[in-house]
Structure 1
Amino acid sequence: MAAPTWIDGLDDRTAVEPIMRIAVFDVSHWHFPLYLSALRDPGVQVVGISDTASFAGSTVADQLKCKLYGSNEELLNEDFDFALVFSRHSEMAGLAERLIARGIPFLIEKPCGLNLQEVRRVRQLAEKHGVYVSVPFIMRVSDLATCLSPAEGFTPEGYQHLSFRFIVGPVARYERGGCSWMLDKRHAGGGSTLNVGVHFIDLISTLTNGPITHVSAQMRTYRPDVTVEEQAVFTCRNAAGQIGVIETGYLYPSTAEDQRDFAFSISHTSAYARGYADQLYIKARGQQQGRATKVEYNTDEFYSVFLRRSWADLANDCPPVAGLREAEHAIAVVEAGYRSVANDGAPEPVDNAF
């Protein structure tokens, strides 16, 4: 965190609010606009951005009144306190390693690299050099996680079955947004599983307080020019035998007002919970009537929340609410799923070697 800025000429050199200088790498990523609220907070100054996609950079620079650098390399030479990394998956690990070498804390979008080997190497380097890195598994700071917490009676050992369906807009939305690389496995690493499924891999692991150990999966791709999965179903199991099912896809006819299909059902020894639209319905065991409450399921609302939490944790010398170890586990589960698909859906063990 930056040291306080001092105003000369005032009695006792009165301190004003510290300025945290932020660098943002590759602002054409579709998630970047979801962080704008936090980046406009008092005490935050975006000193520079980059845009290797040459898509949204000029507009963002005007919005934030900051300099647009011609490359990531040029921006790396700027003086800043914290970075946000939104690069192509094939370029994430290399950029992360450069930031770690400089000792600069940062937030990096999942999956943090092209494959498990890259993410594991970045995690090891960050731990070796003691660099703070957060990864926005935003379900951890969501209203849903609060509703399903031990404080609400949902203890980790009580989960019996967890099923999540999260279907987002078609692959064409990445093309319209200047991110066509997301349709190419060489640059993206994977499709709907790696992009949205990891949130529920992490959520299942968080709720049950145990890593996923085995995966059976099925996938499909529909457009002949797309090399990542457009639909996937993962059946996951942890060491305690708890089962989770994650269905993801690029199949929903999304609009600005209606972006995705999100639904879930959860069996717990204390209650059964299910959700859809903006409703959470919980029926406790042994009760005649359940109760319904309104819950914010729009995950877009939680990215700035997560970024502010990251800054607070960094300032207080606390570990991130989610970081590279969680990212490593998520991508290990994804890769086990890819092996399962190649093996006709047979269960595959997860490489949890950390």
Structure 2
Amino acid sequence: MRLALFDVSHWHFPLYVPALERPGIEIVGVCDGEGIAGPAVARRFGCPLVPREDLLAASFDFALVFSRHVDMPAVAEALIERRRPFLIEKPCGLTSAAVRRLDRLARESHVFVTVPFILRVSDLPVRLTDGGALDPAGFQHLSFRFVPGPLSRYEASAPWMLRADQAGGGSAINVGVHFYDLVSVLTGSPVVSVGGRTQRFRADADVEELAVFTLATASGQIAGVTTGYLYPNTAGDQREFSFSVAHRDAYFQGYADRLAVKRPGRPEAERGTIDYETDRFYPAFLDEALRRLADGRPPIAGLPEAAHALAVVEAGYRSARRGGEVVAVETGP
């Protein structure tokens, strides 16, 4: 399969490399609007580094899009116009309305578009549902903390992440969307309202470095999601990832690589491990996307899911501006 890579200075791009080096994959070209990683990536894959418009005009079977959040809709629309299937990193744009528009265009043109909500291919949905055996309506409360390293980690390759007009926001739009989506996956119910508070700590950034959102689903469950750019990470320890999930038939607690499950009427907890290294889920997601494209199946997650997650972010930001008042998630037409 012939692939085109758009804007490869994105910090997630290296995570896809194991999948891009598999047999049967050919990289036909690379573009890099940031002018940082492009030459090295082109050398690695033995392909040309070209301007974005030239890459759009090239012949390829599938594209990966890693552009600035503000630029994502334009790149996506150009690919849809050419009827080229693609993977586009979240959030796919600055507003849910822009992403819903892309979804309409993609459906009208019958274009396969997938968005890497990587937790869907992780162990979490399987382990937190007992392999699908637990009733989604039985979840009573869900709480997730995902706190990666500080904003400074973006300054070398993506300083635009410190600007709301380019990134759309901070930790909520960048990492929180994975968990707003996961809440809907586990409960089988969309998020319909949010109460949110956010904080900034750096005077030179206008995106939030802490977001604490309380979500309510259409079926009445309540979930709490905390994200932030606060963790003093090191090479082998890059984030805090922890959770507590209450279901009427089980209680799940996780931290680091540990998972404990307590069940009503049983004296001892079930203790084991779980894969928390989210970086490993990106090549797995791409592998699954290409299988689904080849088989004529829909993506595991796509623009509708991205639009909903971004609508949750927008509701959280509106709530934060109103001092934490609970506001409805606006889904639009």
Q: Match for residue 76 of structure 2?
A: 96
**Do structure 1's residue 264 and structure 2's residue 246 form an aligned pair?**
no
Q: Match for residue 334 of structure 1?
A: 313
2:316 match: secondary structure: helix
Which deviates further from its counterpart, 82-91 or 59-68?
Answer: 59-68
Which deviates further from its counterpart, 285-294 or 26-35?
Answer: 285-294
The Cα shift of 1:268 comes to: 0.2
Question: For the residues of structure 1 that align with 2:52 and 2:276, how far apart are their CA atoms?
Answer: 34
The Cα shift of 1:77 comes to: 1.3
Count of residue pairs brought into register by the alignment = 333
1:161 match: secondary structure: strand
Question: For the residues of structure 2 that align with 1:87 and 1:259, how far apart are their CA atoms?
Answer: 23
Deviations, residues 220-271 of structure 1 (Å, cap 9, x unaligned) = 0010110110000000001211011000000001112110000000000111
Q: Match for residue 8 of structure 1?
A: none
Question: For the residues of structure 1 that align with 2:245 and 2:174, how far apart are their CA atoms?
Answer: 23
Q: CA RMSD in A?
A: 0.9
Question: For the residues of structure 1 that align with 2:166 and 2:248, how far apart are their CA atoms?
Answer: 43
Within-5 A mapping of 1:106-185: 106-149=86-129, 151=131, 153-176=133-156, 178-185=157-164
1:49 match: secondary structure: strand
2:5 match: secondary structure: strand
The Cα shift of 1:154 comes to: 2.7
Within-5 A mapping of 1:286-305: 286-305=265-284
2:236 match: secondary structure: coil
1:207 match: secondary structure: helix
Q: Match for residue 34 of structure 1?
A: 15
The Cα shift of 1:64 comes to: 1.5
Q: Match for residue 319 of structure 1?
A: 298
2:185 match: secondary structure: helix
Detail structure 1 runs of 4+ shifted over 6 Å in the superposition. Answer: none
Q: Amino acid of the residue matched to residue 217 of structure 1?
A: G
Q: Amino acid of the residue matched to residue 189 of structure 2?
A: G
1:78 match: secondary structure: coil
The Cα shift of 1:143 comes to: 1.1
Question: For the residues of structure 1 that align with 2:120 and 2:6, how far apart are their CA atoms?
Answer: 24
Question: For the residues of structure 2 that align with 1:152 and 1:92, how far apart are their CA atoms?
Answer: 34
Extract unaligned runs of 5+ from structure 2: none
Q: Amino acid of the residue matched to residue 130 of structure 1?
A: H
The Cα shift of 1:149 comes to: 2.7
Question: Do the aligned residues in 1 keep the contact of 2:125 with 2:185 (CA within 8 Å)?
Answer: no
Q: Match for residue 49 of structure 2?
A: 68
The Cα shift of 1:150 comes to: 5.3
Q: Match for residue 55 of structure 1?
A: 36
The Cα shift of 1:155 comes to: 2.1
The Cα shift of 1:152 comes to: 5.3
Question: For the residues of structure 2 that align with 1:42 and 1:239, how far apart are their CA atoms?
Answer: 44
Question: Do the aligned residues in 2 keep the contact of 1:237 with 1:244 (CA within 8 Å)?
Answer: yes
Q: Amino acid of the residue matched to residue 268 of structure 2?
A: Q
Question: Do the aligned residues in 2 keep the contact of 1:169 with 1:252 (CA within 8 Å)?
Answer: yes
Q: Match for residue 206 of structure 1?
A: 185
Question: Do the aligned residues in 1 keep the contact of 2:97 with 2:332 (CA within 8 Å)?
Answer: no
The Cα shift of 1:151 comes to: 2.8
Q: Amino acid of the residue matched to residue 43 of structure 2?
A: D
Question: Do the aligned residues in 2 keep the contact of 1:150 with 1:156 (CA within 8 Å)?
Answer: no
Question: For the residues of structure 2 that align with 1:240 and 1:152, how far apart are their CA atoms?
Answer: 18
Question: For the residues of structure 2 that align with 1:107 and 1:166, how far apart are their CA atoms?
Answer: 24
**Do structure 1's residue 45 and structure 2's residue 57 form an aligned pair?**
no
Question: Do the aligned residues in 1 keep the contact of 2:106 with 2:112 (CA within 8 Å)?
Answer: yes
Question: For the residues of structure 1 that align with 2:308 and 2:291, how far apart are their CA atoms?
Answer: 24
